[in-house]
Amino acid sequence: MSNWWDPHPHEGYSGIEKIDSGHPWFETYKVHDWLYCIYEGGIFDEPVMYLVIGEDRACVIDGGSGIGRLDKLVEKLTDKPYVLLLTHTHNDHIGGCKHFDDIWVYDDWMSWERAAKGYSKAKMHEIIEEGYVIKEYPPGFIVDDYGAGPFTVTHWYKDGDIVDLGKRKLEIIHTPGHSSNSVCLIDREGRHLYTGDHYYTGGVSTYLPGGNHDDFIESSEKLVRMMGDYDFLMPAHHQPLVEKEEMVVMRDAAVAIKEGRAESWTERMAIADDYNKPVRRYPFKRFSLTTNVKV
């Protein structure tokens, strides 16, 4: 049986420059002079964050696990003021919020609840349970203290809003399905679509709290219609620079599941701190899609 870390390094990192950031918890890649990919490959969820740098300020897309000091790494990569923008508020995306002062989140009930409550230690410890960590923790990290408390949102953004960084703009696209507050961001000039958890080369889902499979199909169709405006998908897990045609594959997979045409699946119980129910995992070539038993 293969290990979850066996595919490392993922193909998406070939051909881009890996740099020594001085923060070994993260693997840091320079995609362009204005774009860095920051990868937490030492944990099972394999979060990927991005630093997009404009003329006036920078944007950090997603907060990752919060195990390492993402903020300190960002400050080594740019001297511009920066904001942390969350693509949604599941636990593996908000861990770093405790280290940031300027946090932007989609205006939605899931976001309000998470900002007010954070996550319990039990929920955060799902990220680091036995067998889920293959790298030495960074200095100062204490397992027993690991959590994600409430955080202050400085800007509630909406669908269609523009994040103007100065000669580089990111447009917010509301894409519910994985969660009600999920968004993607498109850089039309850079030709990149930052997909959050709507697409990545791993275990995508529509069954988590706030998820909805019909919404996921509709959002996928929206992103397919926009394919003329981007060349690469920049997912929030596993690897960057996935060819845009994979969005069509994801849309078709979600529709096939809905219509009962998906050829195979495995059924299991999804057990975690805030849900316990049967789900079905449908495998496809580059990803899997896990849903409620009835979609």
pLDDT tens for each residue of the chain, 295 residues long = 578 888 888 999 999 999 999 999 999 999 999 999 999 999 999 999 999 999 999 999 999 999 999 999 999 999 999 999 999 999 999 999 999 999 999 999 999 999 999 999 999 999 999 999 999 999 999 999 999 999 999 999 999 999 999 999 999 999 999 999 999 999 999 999 999 999 999 999 999 989 999 999 999 999 999 999 999 999 999 999 999 999 999 999 999 999 999 989 999 998 776 778 899 999 999 999 999 999 9
147 SS3 class = coil
Q: Whole-angstrom Cα distance, residue 103 to residue 97? A: 7
CATH code: domain 11-263 is 3.60.15.10
Kindly state the tokens that stand for 249. 């594959």
Q: Which residues are within 8 A (CB) of 250 and not within 5 positions of it... i.e. 6 or more apart?
A: 198, 199, 204, 220, 287, 289
Q: Provide Rg for the chain, Cα atoms.
A: 18
By C-alpha distance, which of 151, 124, 20 is closest to 67?
A: 124
pLDDT at 273: 67
The per-residue pLDDT for range 75-84, each reduced to its tens digit, is 999 999 999 9
Say which DSSP state 225 is in: H
Say which DSSP state 190 is in: T
Kindly state the tokens that stand for 61. 């897309």
By C-alpha distance, which of 191, 215, 193, 190 is closest to 205?
A: 215
- The structure's pTM equals 0.97
CA distances from residue 69 to 63, 91, 140, 160 in whole angstroms, order as listed: 10, 16, 10, 31
Say if CB 253 and CB 289 are below 8 A apart: yes
pLDDT at 9: 84
155 SS3 class = strand
Q: Please state the length of the chain.
A: 295
Question: Which residue carries 């269609």 as its tokens?
Answer: 160
